[in-house]
Amino acid sequence: MEVFDIYNGKTDVYGIIGNPIGHSFSPVLQNTILRRFNKNGIYVPFKVEGGDLKKSVEGMYAIGIKGLNVTVPHKRAVMNFLCGIDNTANKIGAVNTLKYTENGYEGYNTDILGLKKSFEINCIDVSGKRAMVIGAGGAANSAVMLFAEMGAAKIVIANRTIEKAEALKKQAEMFYSTDIEVISINDINNCEKPNIILNATSVGMGEGNNQSPISDNSLFVGVECAFDVIYTPWETKFLKDAKACGCTAVNGFDMLIYQGIASYEIWHDTKVSNFEAKEIRNMLAEYFNNGSGR
């Protein structure tokens, strides 16, 4: 298909705002979904500095950009410039998807939807289990809320900066009565053995890809599942170590794909079937693993 068969005066524009933005996989993901469903649309990355967020969001609305994803560091700050925020995003205190409406952009959070779907397809059952979340940033926030929503018996939040973990515990306790404990990342081996450990730090990604947030691997022994929100590298040191100790190891790729599909569904008021979603997921996994996505 030629470019002039795809784009014309009626092409809708979608995009992602963040800083940095060059590493984002979302343009490949969203343009693949747009092409899969023959939509007359294009999805592009926009680098937006913190001080420019308000005028960027207003400008994008003014020129009719139909949908946006929002990534680090704007997920919280962008909430000040929206006409409405859905309940899940409000609960998490972060927005990663903006939908154009006649009153302005509405905000949603699909990270938690992506994580939930990833748990479902990888058969991760959290109900009644002890869960440990390492990290207290945006990804950890979604994980803690999801574990609470899914009925975890106990959630331990382990973070380098204790204050951030305390704030996350407080946020979760506004909505759930789950038993939540905060510990320092240095005390990770000194607490009761969890059933599932989820790494929501950036340790192990990119240049630090030979690092793990866990220094003593005895923690993994007897743990059912280790989940890493990172997907570059495909298998982090955290996941390799967990696997070597007999845990089921799951990376963040499905979370990424399904949060993107959920954003697409919001923008287009549609439902992507499980079959279509799997087809998109497998196409992108192949692209990713042959080196193009890294």
CB of 158 to ligand NAP, least distance (A): 9
230 makes contact with ligand NAP (CB under 6 A):
yes
DSSP letter at 119? H
161 makes contact with ligand NAP (CB under 6 A):
yes
Which region, judged by CB under 6 A, interacts with ligand NAP, from 9-17, 156-164, 216-224, 239-247? 156-164
Classify residue 244 by burial, with Cβ atoms within 10 Å: 0-12, 13-18, 19+.
exposed
Distance CA 12, CA 39 (A): 9
Of 163 and 179, which has the nearer Cβ to ligand NAP?
A: 163
CB of 278 to ligand NAP, least distance (A): 17
Of the candidates 15, 18, 114, 194, which one interacts with ligand NAP according to CB under 6 A?
A: 114
CB atoms inside a 10 Å sphere around CB 276: 14
- Strand, coil or helix: what is 188? helix
**Residues numbered 240-259 forming contacts with ligand NAP, rule: CB under 6 A:** 252, 255-256, 259
Of 61 and 108, which has the nearer Cβ to ligand NAP?
A: 108
Of 160 and 243, which has the nearer Cβ to ligand NAP?
A: 160
Query: From the candidates 10, 55, 75, 170, which is the catalytic residue?
Result: 75
Task: Provide the sign of the torsion angle of the four alpha carbons 239, 244, 249, 253, taken in this order.
Answer: positive
- Strand, coil or helix: what is 71? coil
The dihedrals phi and psi of 189, each to the nearest 5 degrees, come to -90, 0
CB of 2 to ligand NAP, least distance (A): 33
189 makes contact with ligand NAP (CB under 6 A):
no
Tokens 């998807």 belong to: 97
Distance CA 115, CA 146 (A): 8
Considering only CA atoms, which of 197, 266, 274 is closest in space to residue 238?
A: 197
**Contacts with ligand NAP, residue ranges (CB under 6 A):** 72, 111, 114, 135-140, 159-161, 164, 185, 200-203, 205, 213, 229-231, 252, 255-256, 259
For the annotated catalytic residues, the residue numbers are: 75
